[in-house]
Chain A
Amino acid sequence: MPLTVKTTEGCPANRRSSLVLAWLTAGALALGVAGCSTTDARRQPVLTGDLMVDGPNAIAHGPTRDRVLWEYRTATAAMRQGNYGLAKQYLDDGLTTLQGIYGPDKEARKARGYFHAEAKKTFIGEPYERSMAYIYRGILYWMDGEPDNARACFRSAEIEDSDTENHAYAGDWVLPDYLDGLATVKLSGDGSDAFKRAQGSAKGLRLPPYDPKANVLFFFEFGPGPTKYATGEYAEQLRFRTPVSPVRSARFKIDSLDVPVAPTDDVCFQAITRGGRLMDHILGNKAVFKSATDIAGDVGIVGGAATILGTGGRNATADEVGAGLIVAGIISKAVSAATTPEADIRSWDNLPHYLSFACMPLPPGPHTVTVEFLDAAGMPMPFLTKTVSFDVPADKDKVIFVSDQSLTPQKT
């Protein structure tokens, strides 16, 4: 029905003005609610699809809140290209941010507010991502002949995973505990406790006892890792997509040896077993608030319009009440629209699905290893076969990192 219904007391003008004012007021308030959100002056970079280009560009010029995310991603890509110096640089910076995240944080506080998305906070990753950052850094420390600093990283990896909702899944990475013990043994300590913890977490897998003379350490990773997505009416529920890995195991050949490699850790399992986050409750509350204000807005607008139209413009007080209801309704709708309960789905999206490890004693000098990645039927996937040539030094361990995404051939 048109709003210019003819009345007897000159009320159309009054009603029009009340409605105009209502809309103006609500519009201004809606702008006030929605327009105050701030943006990072640094913009999202244009992506080329090449992480070794996009990563450094995003780190240097992209939003500061995403810096650690790009450092993680780029470090992984760099490791797969054998550019370990660059990986160290980015992981060190990312871990420095991670280690200093304690205490009040302006951006994190905003992310908890109704009108800022969770993704506005500085990214440090979910616990499985933080653990992986430490695991990669640990591998790099060992590569540099610093097994005690490597052990420190493996211990931190377990600590990051220690605050799970279900304590059965707390600190249940296998490899970090196993390597903690191995480093301890190599440093003339007792690694038996760490070994027991690792064996306890390695369900269905019998871990080899430590060999202090094993001077060549192989780290393997394969398969696509977990990513995040959101569900719920307002995308407020964080979920993890865990793709089935086409690669299920590996095998490597060195000198006359042919060694099978079973997965030791499942990164996807680590992602989904953390349980609920405190932030999930906050996002849930945001979603309830968004829904409630939306419904309240509908009620206000419909009720106000019905009040005004119901009087036929003959009752100035009712018109004022109706206009007030419409204003309140529009404000409520604006508040609802400005409420952002969306979960943060920024993901370290080039993590592997599986981690594994092997070590053996080899004489100093040049060696070449060929690594085959095997499918579910145990057949090699030829296009994934990697070859790495390396020299075993006489005075420290040699660490070889091989991913199914690694460049090949490599010489380290």
Chain B
Amino acid sequence: MNLMKYGSFLAVAATAGLISGCASSGVRNPSGTPVTEMRADERGFVAGTGIESQDLLAVTDKMSHGILSIPQIANAQGTPRVVLDPVINETRFPINKDIFLTRIQADLISKANGKVTFLARERMAALEKERQMKQAGQVTSSSDPNVVEFKGADFFLTGKLSGLTTRTSQGTSDYILYTFELIDARTSDIIWQDSAEIKKQGLEDAAYR
């Protein structure tokens, strides 16, 4: 009788374990994770040690505030014209290099109230073609197309991303220094420069080490 009780108990326990065990240890998020809208300055649940949107926003916000406060822009006679010169990427992370300057430009245009104008140099090919068509009389023109009206730059806005990386059995550490500067196109003086630093560390699961 004892044996029967013992056996029955074991069998019940095993069956319960079988059923409950399987129920609790399936694939996590078997249907995936729904698309989650996040703020661009928010650190998401998918993260690496590289350059991410929250870094972009923090850095470009700081830079656009800095540019607006310099006397050459704030107290300029007339409207200074700025050309974007692609940033130099010296980090170990390939990036879309235009994205930093594009955001600074958008930020400045929206906040500067006309104190600064940007020149669309990356559109020069299309602009030249349009001008040539006007000169050839293929399209109408509201002014003399033979007079050069493309404006020259007063300043160049550019930057550099530099990185330091350490990787050991304890994890990976990435430090990135973001430096931006405004250069006087006439004198080559650097009239403004600012920087921001971001350091990130991470360690992958032991299964990947």
A contact set with B: CB distance below 8 Å? 14, 17-18, 21-22, 24-25, 28-29, 31-32, 35-36, 38, 40-41, 99-106, 108-109, 111-112, 118, 121, 124, 137, 141, 146, 148-153, 155-156, 159, 162-163, 187, 189, 277-279, 282, 316, 319-320, 323-324, 327
**Contacts A21-B8, A41-B30 given: A103-B21 contact, CB under 8 Å?**
no
Q: In whole angstroms, what is the CA distance A130 to B156 when docked?
A: 38
Q: In whole angstroms, what is the CA distance A153 to B95 when docked?
A: 10
Cβ of A35 and Cβ of B48 under 8 Å apart?
A: no
B14 beta carbon closer than 8 Å to chain A? yes
Cβ of B208 and Cβ of A21 under 8 Å apart?
A: no
Return B90 CB to nearest CB of chain A, in Å: 7
Q: In whole angstroms, what is the CA distance A124 to B46 when docked?
A: 16
Per-residue CB contact flags for chain B residues 183-194 toward chain A (1 = under 8 Å, else 0) read 000000000000
* Interface 9-residue window, one of B53-61, B73-81, B164-172: B164-172
Q: In whole angstroms, what is the CA distance A40 to B29 when docked?
A: 12
Cβ of B7 and Cβ of A17 under 8 Å apart?
A: yes
Cβ of A159 and Cβ of B167 under 8 Å apart?
A: yes
Return A16 CB to nearest CB of chain B, in Å: 11
**Contacts A28-B11, A102-B48, A149-B89 given: A319-B3 contact, CB under 8 Å?**
yes
* Interface 9-residue window, one of B107-115, B121-129, B130-138, B199-207: B199-207
B35 beta carbon closer than 8 Å to chain A? no
Picked from B14, B48, B95, the residue with its CB within 8 Å of the CB of A29 is B14
In the complex formed, the residue of A with least CB distance to B19 is A32
Cβ of B11 and Cβ of A108 under 8 Å apart?
A: no
Cβ of B207 and Cβ of A102 under 8 Å apart?
A: no
The 4 closest A-B pairs by CB, nearest first: A21-B7, A102-B202, A108-B205, A28-B14
Cβ of B7 and Cβ of A152 under 8 Å apart?
A: no
Cβ of A38 and Cβ of B202 under 8 Å apart?
A: no
| A155 CB contacts on chain B under 8 angstroms | 91-92, 163, 165
Cβ of B206 and Cβ of A148 under 8 Å apart?
A: no
Overall SS of chain A's interface: helix
Cβ of A18 and Cβ of B3 under 8 Å apart?
A: yes
Residues B13-50 near A (CB distance < 8 A): 14-15, 17-18, 21-22, 25-28, 30, 46-50
| B50 CB contacts on chain A under 8 angstroms | 99
Cβ of A156 and Cβ of B92 under 8 Å apart?
A: yes
Cβ of B49 and Cβ of A102 under 8 Å apart?
A: yes
Q: In whole angstroms, what is the CA distance A41 to B32 when docked?
A: 12
A-B contact pairs, 13 of them (CB 8 A): A25-B10, A28-B14, A32-B18, A32-B22, A36-B21, A100-B48, A102-B202, A111-B207, A112-B207, A148-B89, A150-B94, A159-B92, A189-B90
In the complex formed, the residue of B with least CB distance to A155 is B92
In the complex formed, the residue of A with least CB distance to B23 is A36
B209 beta carbon closer than 8 Å to chain A? yes
B70 beta carbon closer than 8 Å to chain A? no
**Contacts A25-B10, A163-B168 given: A104-B3 contact, CB under 8 Å?**
no
